[in-house]
Amino acid sequence: MSPADRSHGSAAARLFRWLVLLLLLATIAWFGWVYHAINATAQVDNAQPADAIAVFGAAEYAGRPSPVLHARLDKAVSLYQRGMAPVIITLGGGADKDSGKTEGGVGRDYLLANGVPYERIIAETNSVDTEQQVQHLAGIAEREHFQHIIVVSDGTHLFRIALLCRRAGLDVYTSPRAALGHIDDLDAAERMTHEMLSYTSLRLDLHISWLHRWLEGKNG
């Protein structure tokens, strides 16, 4: 190899290393920003008077809300009792293993048992993930002429929900559910990683079905 060839190869290697370094720094900066934004949204309750309260679905067990769904529904009941909105929307469908039970239906039953009148509840029972829940919520808002909606979910979930709602033309106020006792560091890290990856996938318009199903499953 001639000196010129060696010089050219060395320059190309240096350029490649610089490009890899810049990509790494950009990735670190991006995920640092996403982490900060998710945390900032999770720590602030933006609830204010609106047309409806939307409760995003979580797991239900044989017709009973899971602790996470229970906490979300309790937050919605509290907001309703404070007069923040006259209607509560429960979101979420079910799978074959759920024997016909749905997250939206279980949420409706829980609200009824806690004093919310039937005519003040709208149960959406067909969505299978967060994106579909937002799509159905947008349809309900258009049908019912809702202009402003309080969205209730886990704190770390709300940053992504807010983006999806903006894309769907919804004006929403985020309101995190109450914390559920102590969450160990590993569980907290998994939840945050799940949301960071989900949000990044959403911003990049990546539609990778297996990744999407895995991320949604981790959040259930």
- What's the whole-number average pLDDT of the chain? 88
3-state secondary structure the chain: CCHHHHHHHHHHHHHHHHHHHHHHHHHHHHHHHHHHHHHHHHCCCCCCCCCEEEECCCCEECCEECHHHHHHHHHHHHHHHCCCCCCEEECCCCCHHHCCCCHHHHHHHHHHHCCCCHHHEEECCCCCCHHHHHHHHHHHHHHHCCCEEEEEECHHHHHHHHHHHHHCCCEEEEEECCCCCCCCHHHHHHHHHHHHHHHHHHHCCCCCHHHHHHHHHHHC
What's the pLDDT tens digit per position in 141-195? Answer: 999 999 999 999 999 999 999 999 999 999 999 999 998 866 667 778 888 998 9
Which CATH class, in words, describes the domain spanning 52-219? alpha beta
The domain spans of the chain are 52-219
Q: What pLDDT does residue 218 have?
A: 47
pLDDT cut 90: percent of the chain above it:
66
Q: pLDDT band at residue 6, thresholds of 50, 70 and 90? A: low
